[in-house]
Amino acid sequence: MSNRGEDHIEMETLIKKPSIPSKPSSENPSEPDKPFSSTRPKMPAITMKWKAPEATSAATKPSLTVAKAATKKLKLELDHKAKLHPKRFESMWDEYVERFQTDLSEANRPDSDKLIPNMEAHGISCMASGTVNGMEKFVFYGKQQGHSWFFLVSVDVTVATAKTVLTVRASSDAANDLVLQLVELLKTTINESVAL
């Protein structure tokens, strides 16, 4: 897989490493044990290219956004010019909440040479990609026009099993309608990018 751009970032906050708890839970035996790890393995430094976003002359007016949401269903309109600094992406990943996660079928395993350009054609930019611990990982971001928050996306492919997991994180202010529309767009794009 090709590296992306000029700056480097260690996406250590994006990698989840399962671990076996030292003691099984005895308080609630009906629930399965949940792995927990105080540390996460670091993702290798990945080269990427980005541009700092241009300064805006006027702030978004929340009152207008609320009025639109109350009168009609919101439509997903991604800003193709939006750029996000890698360090800001990392902090947002911790700040934002997980809004959606699903396992995709093995037939949906994407080809990296197709997935990244197909996503970018929809205004979903690739922040980083790489393979670590047997997992091929892609992280993307997109921005709804007229809003300050971003959508953060992770596509994790287990190389040995071809299992693909799609995760979307976003601000709690992001309307659920927009999240669902984005999820459908992501699924379609992944299906269009399957490895032959």
Task: Please indicate whether residue 109 or residue 58 has the higher confidence score (pLDDT).
Answer: 109
User: What is the extent of the structural domain holding 87?
Assistant: 75-191
3-state secondary structure of 33: coil
Residue 91 lies in a domain: yes
Residue 54 lies in a domain: no
φ/ψ of 157, rounded to 5, equals -120, 115
* Nearest-angstrom CA–CA distance, 55 and 3: 28
Residue 112 lies in a domain: yes
| The pLDDT value given to residue 11 | 53
Number of domains the chain contains: 1
Instruction: Give the containing element (helix H, strand E) for 128.
Output: strand 125-132
pTM of the model: 0.64
| The pLDDT value given to residue 72 | 64
Residue 134 lies in a domain: yes
Residue 139 lies in a domain: yes
* Nearest-angstrom CA–CA distance, 194 and 145: 29
Task: Please indicate whether residue 172 or residue 54 has the higher confidence score (pLDDT).
Answer: 172
Residue 51 lies in a domain: no
Residue 4 lies in a domain: no
Strand 150-158 and strand 7-9: the pairing is unpaired
Residue 22 lies in a domain: no
- Tens of pLDDT, residue by residue over 35-74, are 444 444 444 444 444 444 444 444 444 444 444 444 467 8
Q: What is the CATH number of the domain that holds 146?
A: 3.30.310.10
3-state secondary structure of 140: strand
* Nearest-angstrom CA–CA distance, 26 and 33: 10
- Tens of pLDDT, residue by residue over 15-30, are 544 454 554 544 444 4
